[in-house]
Every structure is written in C-alpha cells, then in structure tokens.
Chains A and B, each alone.
Chain A
Amino acid sequence: MATRVDTLEPIPIPEPERPPERKLSPAEWAKKNLFSTWYNGVLTVGFGLLLGWAAFRVLQFVFVDARWEIIERNLRLLLVFRFPREETWRLWTALAVLAASFGLGAGAAAKLRAAEVAEGRAAPPARYLAVRRVAPLVLLVVVLLVFAQSLTATLFTAGVAAVAIAFRFLGRRIPRERVRWVAAAVLAGIIAAFVVLTRFGGVPASEWGGFHLTLYLAVGGILLSFPLGVLLALGRRSTLPLVRIVCAAYIELIRGVPLIAILFMGFFMLGFFLEPGWDRPTEVTRALVAFILFTAAYVAEIVRGGLQAVPRGQIEAAMAVGLSPLKTTRLILLPQALRAVIPGLVGQFISLFKDTSLVFIIGLTELLGVAELMTKQPDFLAQGLIFEALVFAAFVYWAGSYWMSRESQRLERRLGVGER
C-alpha cells in the first residue's frame, strides 16, 4: 500500500527553463568585439587613432581655434536678417503662439496615448519621452543662447518654454471626443503666428531673411506641398482618364526638371504669364510656390507607392459595408497608405528644409546666405572666417533635420503598434 501513498504526494512543478545568461566582463567584451583576431586588433587600434585624432581636431577647432565672435556679432542677422528691431516683439509673440499650439497638440497626443495604454493596445511611452523628443531642438536653443549672451533673450526663451509646458498640461485636459480638433488648433496656431508677424503694421514675408526665411519656406512648403501631393497621387490613380493624364504629366514634367531651374523659372518667367495689370508676386512668394510645386510631385510619387501597398481586399471590404468611394479613400485607403510611407515623406521634407538654401540664386538671403555674407563685412573680411560661418549654418540645418528624422521614427513606431 505504501506505493499508493507515494502517488498522492504533490508533484513538483518544474521551473520553466530560461535561456542561459551570458554576462561578459569589460575585458571579455573588448576581447570578443575588438581584438578577436590579430587583424581585428590592428583595425581597432588604427581606427581608434584615426577617430581620436579627428575628434581632437574638431574639439580644438570648436573650443580653441575658432573665432566665434563673427557669429556672436551677427547672430541677429543670421536668425532674422533685417527684421526691424522695434518689431522684435512680433517674433517673440509668434514664438509664444507656436509654443502654445504645439504644447496643446503634444498634451492631447499624450492623453490619447495614455487612453490607448489603459485599453491595452499601445505600449507605455518610454521614460522622459517628451524631453528626449525635443532634445535636438533644446541643443540648438542652448547653442543660440550661448552665442547671444543676452539675459533678455534667455528670459524670453524661458517664457516661451513655460508657455509650451503650460499648454501641454492644458492639452491633457481636453475631453477625448474633442481631441481631433487639436490638429486644427495647431494649424490655426501656425496661421496666427504668421498673422502676428505680417499684419497690423508687421513685416511682410517678402522682407524676411536668415533662419526666419528658411523656416518660412520649409514650413510653408511642407504644409502646402503635402495636400497637393496627396491629391496628385490620388489623381494619378483616378478612373477618369483626363484627370489621370494631367496628374501623371504634371508629376513627370516636374520630376524631370532640376529644382534650381524651377526657381529660376519662377523668378524670370512668371511675369511673362501674368496679365500686365496684375500684381507681381514677390520673390519670396515665387520661391515658396516653386518649392511647393516641386515637392508636391515627389510627395505624389511617394504617396502613390503607399496607395499601391494597401491590399485590394481593404477596398473591397470597405465597399462591401457600403462606404462610398470618397469615404473609402479618406477613412480606409489614405490612413494606411500614409503611415506606410512616413520615412519617405519625412525624407522628402528634410530635403526641402535643406534645399531652401538654394534661394540665394534668386537673390534671397536665408540662413546660409547670411552666413556667407557676413564673412564679407569690413571687420571680418578675408580672415578665413568662412569656416565658422559654415559650421554654424551646418549645425542649425543638422539640428532641424535630425529632429525631423527622429520624429519620423517615433511616429512610425507609434502608428505601427499592433500591426506586425
């Protein structure tokens, strides 16, 4: 009978097996990754020396050799060029308006995310995400403030940051069913900032220059080329032959011409097509239109790729439940197509941001133009200071581009949840 009693004893549940842990000491890690063979050792040492030398030279330039006073003295020109001093309040007001609307947007997005996390269909955000997201921009602002060496500017910047943070908290309090209006609020903020700068005795965009002009051309170009590009992409897939042909012809025509040629055409040839009595658009407007027309053609092709990637079954399912063709496009086709092409779209917008520097060929003075111009000032002429000017301009472009690139990756991950 003893054997029967044995079977009543609880059977121990085996511990689930775990993968073996491999923890390397720093020495082991270096051996494995840097010095696994003699030639890897040689490469490690060689590249180590090369990188060390390069880093040393860069740091030496930035902190010892460079004569940054050319930037310090010309910072205002670099940022806003000849924007009248007595109108500077408009710039700060516009910045505060932008900070408010973007803060509101960020707050609403954070709230939406929190709701999705609570419902178990989104991963919780990484720690300090909000801070990490703006890191490249913060770096840019800090560098600018270091060059500015101005208490007023620092205080105003802190004020703008405070507005952004305050409105972010406000954004979190927006009721969920109103959240979709926030995108409209952000757009309204951008328009309001433009109105503050230009209307009521302000400075028209045609007088702008420096980084201010760069931003205007880039933001205006992105905001307007995107919808135009989407329409062109849809048009190219239209069932109406005329629409299809016109869209395809436009796209192929624009893509076959260099951006510089389009800028020149806007400058020289536009007057030719306008009636004699009409107002001539300013150079800045011509440049903006050229960027919009140019970028829209590329956006259209990128979006078309996304449209083609949406399976036919999605459209059939939408039609089967009775959605009209327009609603199928707006609610089913475009959301899926656009999220598939975020990397390509952002790449195009980064290109546009940097291509704005080409407007120097039609006599406009944006960031790079000012950087080049200031080396010809009597105080700095022929002293080889073009280095400092270029490094500074490059840094500003890089900070903006890198920020866009990171936002694109974040957006991809955010929208990709539950899809793969």
Chain B
Amino acid sequence: MTESERAAAAVATAPGRGEPMIVLEGVSKWFGDFQALKDVGFIVGRQEVVVVAGPSGSGKSTMIRCINRLEKHDRGRIVVDGIELTDDLRNIQEIRREVGMVFQQFNLFPHLTVLENITIAPRQVRRWPKQKARQKAMELLERVRIPEQAHKYPLQLSGGQQQRAAIARALAMEPKIMLFDEPTSALDPEMIKEVLDVMEELAESGMTMIVVSHEMGFAKAVADRMMLMADGEIVEVGTPEHFFTNPQEERTKQFLSQIL
C-alpha cells in the first residue's frame, strides 16, 4: 500500500459527524460478467453530505441504488442506520422508509397531481390520515417554493419544478437519509440553480445526503466530503479543500482537469 493509498483509505473509512448512518463493507456488484462495483467500503456519518463524482459507468449510480435496494449487491455488507440490508423484505421496506431518493429523470407519477404524488406514500405506507398528509405536503411544497403547483399534473411543470416536486415527494416520508442520483443532469441550465438551492437548504438543515453530481460549485459549498469513483472503485475521498486543491491520485487530477 502506497502512502497515498493509505491516506485515501483512512479518509474513506473515517466516519463523518457522529455515529455512522450508512456503512458499506466490501460491496461488489456484477451485471452479467461486468463488475460494476469492486469491494467498495465506505462510511457516511449522521448529518454528513457526501458528493460523489466520476466518469459515466464508474459505478456511482449503482452504489447509491444498492443502498435502498433498487439494485441487489452480490457481495459485502450494507448497513443503513443500524439495519442490515438482506433479502428480508421487511428489512428492505424499513430501509426504504428511512431513505429518500431523487432521480435524474424525476420519475414523478404522471397520472397523479403534484399533491397526490407527495401524499401517496405517507398515506399508503405510513397510514397517515388524508388531512395530515395534505398538510405535510403543502409544507414541503412551500419549502421547495412551488405551493401554487400543488393541483397540477407533473408534465404541466417545468423540469426544475418537477425535480423540486420530486424532492418534496421523497421528503414526505420524513427520511433520515436522502440519495440524489444526478438530480440536475436532465435540467436546462437556467433551472439547475433552483434545484441546487433547495438541496443546499436541505443540507444545512442537517440531512444526511449522498449526492451523485458533477456540480462542482455545489460540492465546494455544501459537501463535507468529496468522493471520486472510477471503474467501480473509490479512487479518492477527502474534504473539498483536500480534493480540489491537493488531490493525491493521478486519476483525480486527470478527472478534475477535465471538468473544471
């Protein structure tokens, strides 16, 4: 192990603030013969914000999709807030209730209004009464600044509004953790900021977040740690200052020179 590898490994396993919320140990994942994740080990602490970058096909989406079991990992352990992710359906449901996810393509339900998109999970999964769910939904829509869109259908909204509605939908289950899978990649440039602003406020409110994104301005302002992935492996992890000003790995320098 070289000096730099040891440094990277030390940061990779160092918990963030407080106790660990997400623990990945030796996680591997194959799609057919292609290995998408190779022995990924990583700990995210409570209230920590981690921004994951890396070239396409590097496994960053696969990694966060494994955390709420949209993909099944083939080897290793994933523990979310003390619950180990196994084939037990009850465990999976419990973890999904605590983990909110925001997708690149929003994935709002087109046959439901924005309000119904947000209330459906609390009503059906948490069995909240209608009034409580609606009240919570309106609070969230205020928070993402689109309360006037509550009764519209998703496709009547702009991309930025849709993504903010999707964030509100994920927050409605009162998750402890939020996963963002390239939340601004499908947006027109002028709409990226409105979504990032909402995410920044969320981070400031103390939400534990993993954000797959190439918005480096956002990462510098919000991330507690930055991570670079390539070829299914974690290349380098560190604070934004360390990551942007003093990267140790050749691969990181190369990546930064391409996107900055």
Contacts and interface: CB of A to CB of B under 8 A. Distances in A.
Contacts of B56: none
A121 B101 contact: no
A258 interface: no
B156 interface: yes
B120 A321 contact: yes
Given A120-B151, A313-B105, A320 B156 contact: no
A331 B152 contact: no
B61 to A, nearest CB: 11
B125 interface: yes
A121 B96 contact: no
B173 A321 contact: yes
B80 to A, nearest CB: 13
Given A314-B107, A316-B103, A322-B173, A418 B153 contact: yes
Interface in A361-420: 415, 417-420
Contacts of B121: 321-323
Interface in B204-247: none
Interface stretch (A42-50, A242-250, A332-340): A332-340
Contacts of A318: 109
A313 B103 contact: yes
B93 A316 contact: no
Contacts of A420: 155
A206 interface: no
A419 B154 CA distance: 8
Interface residues of B, number: 33
B49 interface: no
B70 A323 contact: no
A419 B151 contact: no
Nearest to A177: B130
Given A316-B70, A317-B108, A322 B156 contact: no
A320 B70 contact: yes
Interface in B93-112: 93, 96-97, 99-101, 103, 105, 107-111
Contacts of B100: 320-321
A318 B101 CA distance: 10
Contact of A322 (B93, B152, B153, B166): B93
A397 B15 CA distance: 74
Contacts of A132: none
A44 to B, nearest CB: 44
Contacts of A324: 93, 125
Given A121-B153, A324-B93, A331-B120, A336 B170 contact: no
Given A321-B125, A322-B96, A316 B151 contact: no
Interface in A113-146: 119-121
The DSSP consensus for interface residues of chain A is helix
B68 interface: yes
B71 to A, nearest CB: 10
Contacts of A313: 103, 105, 107
Contact of B156 (A314, A331, A332, A418): A418
A323 B124 contact: yes
Contacts of B96: 319-322
A322 B97 contact: yes
B58 interface: no
Nearest to A320: B101
Contacts of A317: 101, 103, 107-109, 166
Contacts of A31: none
A323 B109 CA distance: 13
B13 interface: no
Of the listed residues A119, A331, A417, the one surrounded by the most CB atoms of chain B closer than 10 A to its CB is: A331
B50 to A, nearest CB: 19
A417 B173 CA distance: 28
Contact of A320 (B108, B154, B170): B170
B153 to A, nearest CB: 3
Interface in A241-283: none
B70 A319 contact: yes
A316 B113 contact: no
Of the listed residues A119, A322, A419, A420, the one surrounded by the most CB atoms of chain B closer than 10 A to its CB is: A322
Given A313-B103, A331-B124, A417 B153 contact: yes
A418 B107 contact: no
A331 B154 CA distance: 16
Contacts of A321: 96, 100, 120-121, 125, 169-170, 172-173
Given A121-B153, A324-B93, A336 B110 contact: yes
A177 B173 CA distance: 24
Contacts of B113: 121
25 contacts: A120-B151, A121-B113, A121-B156, A314-B107, A316-B103, A316-B107, A317-B103, A317-B108, A317-B109, A317-B166, A319-B69, A320-B100, A320-B101, A320-B103, A321-B96, A322-B96, A323-B121, A323-B124, A323-B125, A331-B120, A331-B124, A335-B111, A418-B110, A418-B152, A418-B154
Given A311-B107, A319-B96, A322-B97, 11 more contacts: A313-B105, A314-B109, A317-B108, A320-B100, A320-B101, A321-B120, A321-B121, A322-B125, A336-B109, A418-B155, A420-B155
Interface of A: 119-121, 177, 311, 313-314, 316-324, 327, 331-332, 335-336, 339, 415, 417-420
User: Ordered nearest first, which 3 A-B pairs have the shortest CB separation?
Assistant: A418-B153, A317-B107, A321-B121
